[in-house]
Amino acid sequence: MTDSPFVEVKGLSRVFDVSKPWLNRVLEQEERKLLRAVTDVSFAIGKRETVALVGESGSGKSTVAKMVVGLLPPTGGSVTIDGVDMWSIADAEKRQALRRRIQMIFQDPYASLNPRWRVGSIIADPIRTFGLAKDRAEIEHEVGELLRLVGLDPADASKYPHEFSGGQRQRICIARALSSKPEFLVADEPTSALDVSVQAQILNLMRELQDRLGLTYLFISHNLAVVRHMAARIGVMYLGRVVEIAPTQELFSAPRHPYARMLLDAVPDLAMTGRPRKMVEGEIPNPISPPPGCAFNPRCPAVMDRCRREVPELEAAPKASATQATACHAVAEGRI
Q: What is the DSSP letter of 257?
A: S
Q: What is the DSSP string of 12-59?
A: EEEEEE-PPPHHHHHHHT----EEEEEEEEEEEE-TT-EEEEE-STTS
Q: What is the mean pLDDT of the chain?
A: 90
How far is 329 from 284, CA to CA, in rounded Å?
19
Residue 77 and residue 86 in contact, taking contact as beta carbons nearer than 8 Å: no
pLDDT for the residue numbered 186: 96
Residue 40 and residue 34 in contact, taking contact as beta carbons nearer than 8 Å: no
Q: Strands of the chain (E only): list them.
A: 7-17, 34-45, 50-54, 76-81, 84-85, 102-105, 184-188, 216-220, 233-238, 241-247, 315-316, 325-326
Report pLDDT digits (tens) over 280-292.
Answer: 677 888 889 999 9
Residue 61 has pLDDT above 80, yes or no: yes
How far is 98 from 270, CA to CA, in rounded Å?
44
Please name the amino acid found at residue 134: K
Report pLDDT digits (tens) over 107-146.
Answer: 888 899 999 999 999 999 999 999 998 899 999 999 999 9
Q: Which long-range contacts (CB under 8 A, 24 or more apart) does 264-269 make?
A: 264/224, 267/224, 267/225
- pTM score, two decimals? 0.89
Section 43-52 average pLDDT: 95
Domains of the chain from N-terminus onward: 7-101+182-332 (3.40.50.300)
Section 199-227 average pLDDT: 93
Residue 272 has pLDDT above 50, yes or no: yes
Q: What is the DSSP letter of 216?
A: E
pLDDT for the residue numbered 270: 60
Report pLDDT digits (tens) over 309-323.
Answer: 999 999 876 665 667
Instruction: Identify the helix (H) or strand (E) that includes residue 201.
Output: helix 196-213
Q: What is the DSSP letter of 209?
A: H
How far is 173 from 105, CA to CA, in rounded Å?
6
When mean pLDDT is compared across 59-73, 158-172, 265-279, the lowest value belongs to 265-279
